[in-house]
Structure 1
Amino acid sequence: MHHDHNDDHDLGLAHDLTRLQQQALQRRTALRWLMGAGAMSLGGAGAMALAGCGGGGDAGTSSTSSSGSSGSSTSTGGTTTTTTAGCSVIPAETEGPYPGDGSNSANGSVANVLALSGVVRSDIRSSIAGASGIATGVPLQVIIELVNTNAACADLSGYAIYLWHCDALGRYSMYSSGVTGENYLRGVQATGTDGTATFQTIYPGCYAGRVPHMHFEIYRSTTTATNWNNKLRTSQLCFPSEVNTAVYATSGYGQSAANNNAISLSSDGIFSDGSSTQLCTVTGSVAAGYVATLRVGISA
């Protein structure tokens, strides 16, 4: 990971992730300014690409942009950059069989992590409410920006996002054999004034039949994020293939590499109809950890 100052090298992953998040927010601020100034002409595409989610990368860095927006894409030197022209409503997707939101049962009882004390949190790697498991894997920070498609992509603050995903071995806490007593990799965060909710987690594993992905539900507030009946929308997000490959070359991910090689976004049952609004922008490396960002539009 590149640093601007030599004395930053020993500050660790937390410092680097904070810097990356600050830079992402600065780019979004610049983008909004340019949009407000009417700089959306074709001739300004280069400047918009720099202000948006695209960017440069090295052998350990991927920067593939979609950010829930439509626009034109260019590819130079292995880096894909998307020029943002607006925002689109995120497609509704199935919550799958392991939501833990009160909509089904696991092990003979209703599975609802949303009702547990401590579920509103940023770091979702550990279990809560008496469970003690901790999920391990390549560090990943997920930043979701929630915007209103009915108000020129204005940031939506005070909403709540429930995020959940499998662990490095492809298991879902509360449901899968070996982790039925755990509830890690599940958590709720409120969106801030900039519309973002941030989760500290691990890169998910890849199980047979699906590309690596995460699930999320959107609620009007943390107060209503207690049961699936209150959700506004359910969707999923995915990751660039080159990042998946880099992560699964490391130890601790079981059969993820083989499972990932057997499927692609075009053959995945959820994303085969298109993933442009659900494909995260990812920066970082295996050694330093990754940051994934996604702009999610809803009609509010």
Structure 2
Amino acid sequence: MVGMLKLETLHDGGLAHDFSLVCRRRMTGLARGTTVAALAAGRAYSPLVRSGIVRGDLRRSFGTATGAARGVPLDIRLRITSANSGRPLPDYAVYLWQGDRDGNYSLYDGGLEQENYLRGVQTADTAGWVRFTSVFPGAREGRWPHLHIEVYPSLACRDLLHSGQIALPGDACEKVYATDGYSAELDPTAMSLPLEMACVTGDVRRGMVATRTLSV
């Protein structure tokens, strides 16, 4: 039963699970039973766009939710390329979601069930780049600081091609976690998990930049 699943499992669910939950909680003007699968089957992804989840700035909730995530700015730049040819894959869609500076997830953690910030969908440009504006996530107990991603061949968001987590380097995390508003501590044992690592540059005052190429 879904009600018996731990939050760690629920917030790892991906776009199909998250978007259905957004609709069930009436956070958008879409019908309560709307699902990503139903939109894709009808070749009508405009409701996905109308919902507000297709956006580059993830810091505020969309639809009827009004909350905002605070923290050190994080500019996320992902390049989507072909695993066979290495060429960029324009128009491929990426769903990205993450925890806030406390390591908590909108939609799932206590007090955040009616918020949906720090999650969104973008499509790659002609060079394969996807860009999101976010905040640097805190560390969740037992988990290394990371971003969740799913890659689809189009904005219809069917035929999932890649699902994974992008880890953030320890040195960048330590700099951010020393600033006001963060209280996270890194768990070295969590790095035993198979995570892709982002390259992170910048500083805590002007913001950090995370870059990663994803071959699918």
Q: Distance in 1 between matches of 2:108 and 2:67?
A: 14
Q: Distance in 1 between matches of 2:58 and 2:194?
A: 28
Q: 1:132 to 1:294 in 2, by over 3 A?
A: same
Q: Which residue of 2 aligns with 1:149?
A: 83
Q: Which residue of 2 aligns with 1:32?
A: none
State whether residues 25 and 114 of structure 2, in contact with CA within 8 Å, keep that contact through their aligned partners in structure 1.
no
Q: 1:178 to 1:274 in 2, by over 3 A?
A: closer
Q: Distance in 2 between matches of 1:100 and 1:160?
A: 13
Q: Which residue of 1 aligns with 2:179?
A: 250
Residue deviations 1:30-77, cap 9 Å, x none?
Answer: xxxxxxxxxxxxxxxxxxxxxxxxxxxxxxxxxxxxxxxxxxxxxxxx
**Greater Rg over alpha carbons, structure:** 1
RMSD of Structure 2 on Structure 1 (CA): 2.4
Q: 1:145 to 1:291 in 2, by over 3 A?
A: same
Q: CA deviation at 1:220?
A: 1.1
Q: Distance in 2 between matches of 1:135 and 1:113?
A: 26
Q: Which residue of 2 aligns with 1:199?
A: 132
Which SS does the other structure have where 1:192 is aligned?
A: coil
Is residue 2:101 matched to residue 1:168?
yes
Structure 2: give runs of 5+ residues left out of the alignment.
1-7, 27-33, 37-47
TM-score in terms of structure 1 length: 0.58
Is residue 2:53 matched to residue 1:132?
no
**Moved runs in structure 1, 4+ residues, more than 6 A?**
110-114
Structure 1: give runs of 5+ residues left out of the alignment.
1-94
Q: 1:273 to 1:117 in 2, by over 3 A?
A: closer
Q: Distance in 1 between matches of 2:35 and 2:72?
A: 24
Kindly provide the amino acid, as one letter, of the partner of residue 82 in structure 2: N
Q: CA deviation at 1:272?
A: 2.0
State whether residues 166 and 198 of structure 2, in contact with CA within 8 Å, keep that contact through their aligned partners in structure 1.
yes
Q: CA deviation at 1:102?
A: 2.9
Q: 1:194 to 1:132 in 2, by over 3 A?
A: same
Is residue 2:186 matched to residue 1:272?
no
